């Protein structure tokens, strides 16, 4: 009835609604803080810059894997072959470098492309034959495990020391360089936010300066500064961490700003609606799997650089081992829904940090591996349960 202005006041939202949108990260952030408080009371070493740098570095491989997997989870599929892709592509690139004398500049990008190609093949199978992705990628993963073993030499290992690949894990950006990196990151974020705000203003739309501009930029700036301070107190920003953060930035842009990102969410929530809207659903699915495969290969490169070689163990060993399980767990614990269409980019970071923290903290306490698996498993179940409860609270079904 009332005359409508273009700045109609937004309705107050319920806490449940906020939990499902803006505050979706709250449970996992609380869990992370609780874990950090707990471990800092259990070990004096936990909060040292050296240990925190380690923790961050340990979290990158799983974090990168989770980041890629997220694209597949968003379209309501799953890729159980990402660990095998990680393994086989890293062994393949090592073979190209060691046996055939390829430059890493050629072999590593090739590994990423092959990873993406493998991912797109599983999507094709899912799209055309209609076999659930769960089965296709489970079988494909085992097949890739076999190929990985075939590619390995009689020694079952390729050493990468002296090939140049080792520099990825060993390179750090310290001192002023680290702060320059921080500055560039904050500037990029600020320019993105400010240009968005300027567009909204030009269009005559309301913008909240505090919530839309000041808080995100200041928040990211302060958080980034703390991380840089801690890392600089050790050896600086490790290159793998920078790779992970860059991927997070690009991923966040794609998911939040682009048409492709929106279509991932649309397909994951209601693929029939997406199809009727003219979205080429099979293509979107294929892109999601290709991204997960390509990014799994990136994680494989980082991992092989850290371990200075590849072998049977690459990609978590046969069946994907804990690497596969922790990658899925990280995405889900971070807040990516297994039921499709929900999850923000920071999920990969938060989830990987939770898993990295549990591993690192329990290690410091001298607790055995078994406990780590139990704790991670319980956290996973807890995270999925929270997801379901939020769904109920807000009445948002994922049909």
* Secondary structure letter of residue 9 according to DSSP: P
Residue with tokens 């703390």: 226
Angle at 168 between CA 164 and CA 173, to 5 degrees: 125
Angle at 391 between CA 386 and CA 396, to 5 degrees: 165
Q: Is residue 8 close enough to count as binding another protein by CB under 8 A?
A: yes
Closest distance of CB 135 from another protein, Å: 26
d(CA 219, CA 203): 27
- The token pair at 40 is 């800092």
Query: Which residue, 87 or 261, is less far from another protein as judged by CB?
Result: 261
C-alpha torsion 266→270→276→277, nearest 10: -20
Q: Is residue 258 close enough to count as binding another protein by CB under 8 A?
A: yes
Closest distance of CB 240 from another protein, Å: 22
Q: Is residue 150 close enough to count as binding another protein by CB under 8 A?
A: no
Closest distance of CB 399 from another protein, Å: 8
Contact in structure between 323 and 83 (CB atoms under 8 Å)? yes
Give CA separation, 379 vs 357, 358, 388, in Å.
12, 10, 14
C-alpha torsion 53→54→58→64, nearest 10: 10
Closest distance of CB 3 from another protein, Å: 8
Binding mask 323-342 for another protein (x = CB under 8 A): ------------------xx
Closest distance of CB 227 from another protein, Å: 24
* Secondary structure letter of residue 44 according to DSSP: S
Q: Is residue 262 close enough to count as binding another protein by CB under 8 A?
A: yes
- The token pair at 35 is 């874990």
Among 154, 259, 368, 370, binds another protein (CB under 8 A): 259
# binding residues, another protein (CB under 8 A): 47
Closest distance of CB 282 from another protein, Å: 14
Among 99, 106, 194, 257, binds another protein (CB under 8 A): 257
Q: Is residue 274 close enough to count as binding another protein by CB under 8 A?
A: yes
Among 253, 282, 283, 364, binds another protein (CB under 8 A): 253
Binding mask 199-238 for another protein (x = CB under 8 A): xx-xxxx---------------------------------
Going by C-alpha positions, the residue among 115, 139, 237, 127 that lies closest to residue 179 is 237
Closest distance of CB 253 from another protein, Å: 6
Q: Is residue 17 close enough to count as binding another protein by CB under 8 A?
A: yes
**Is 399 exposed, middle or buried (CB count within 10 Å of its CB: 0-12, 13-18, 19+)?**
exposed
Binding site for another protein (CB under 8 A): 2, 4, 6, 8, 10-11, 13, 17, 20-21, 196, 199-200, 202-205, 250, 253-254, 257-262, 265-266, 268-270, 272-279, 341-342, 394-399
């Amino acid at each position: 009835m009332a005359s409508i202005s273009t700045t109609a006041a937004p309705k107050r939202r319920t806490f449940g609604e906020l939990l499902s949108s803006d505050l979706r990260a709250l449970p996992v952030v609380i869990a992370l803080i609780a874990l950090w408080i707990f471990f800092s009371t259990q070990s004096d070493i936990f909060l040292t810059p050296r240990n925190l740098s380690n923790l961050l570095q340990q979290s990158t491989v799983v974090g990168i894997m989770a980041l890629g997997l997220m694209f597949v989870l968003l379209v309501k599929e799953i890729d159980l072959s990402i660990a095998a892709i990680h393994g086989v592509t890293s062994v393949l690139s090592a073979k190209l470098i060691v046996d055939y004398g390829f430059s890493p500049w050629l072999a590593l990008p090739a590994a990423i492309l092959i990873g993406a190609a493998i991912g797109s093949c599983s999507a094709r199978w899912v799209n055309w034959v209609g076999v659930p992705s769960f089965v296709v990628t489970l079988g494909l993963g085992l097949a890739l495990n076999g190929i990985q073993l075939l590619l390995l030499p009689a020694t079952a290992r390729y050493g990468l020391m002296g090939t140049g690949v080792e520099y990825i894990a060993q390179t750090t950006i310290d001192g002023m360089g680290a702060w320059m990196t921080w500055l560039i990151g904050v500037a990029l974020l600020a320019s993105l936010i400010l240009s968005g705000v300027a567009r909204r203003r030009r269009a005559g739309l309301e913008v909240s300066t505090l919530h839309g501009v000041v808080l995100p930029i200041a928040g990211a700036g302060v958080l980034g500064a703390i991380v840089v301070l801690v890392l600089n107190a050790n050896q600086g920003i490790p290159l793998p961490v920078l790779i992970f953060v860059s991927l997070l930035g690009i991923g966040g842009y794609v998911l939040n700003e682009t048409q492709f990102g929106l279509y991932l969410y649309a397909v994951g929530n209601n693929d029939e609606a997406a199809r009727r809207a003219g979205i080429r659903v099979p293509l979107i699915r294929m892109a999601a799997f290709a991204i997960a495969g390509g990014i799994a290969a990136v994680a494989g490169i980082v991992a092989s650089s850290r371990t200075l070689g590849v072998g049977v163990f690459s990609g978590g060993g046969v069946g994907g081992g804990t690497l596969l399980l922790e990658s899925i767990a990280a995405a889900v614990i971070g807040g990516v829904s297994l039921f499709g269409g929900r999850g923000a980019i920071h999920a990969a970071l938060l989830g990987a940090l939770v898993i990295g923290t549990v591993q690192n903290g329990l290690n410091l306490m001298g607790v055995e591996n078994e406990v780590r698996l139990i704790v991670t498993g319980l956290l996973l179940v807890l995270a999925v349960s929270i997801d379901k409860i939020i769904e109920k609270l807000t009445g948002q079904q994922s049909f």
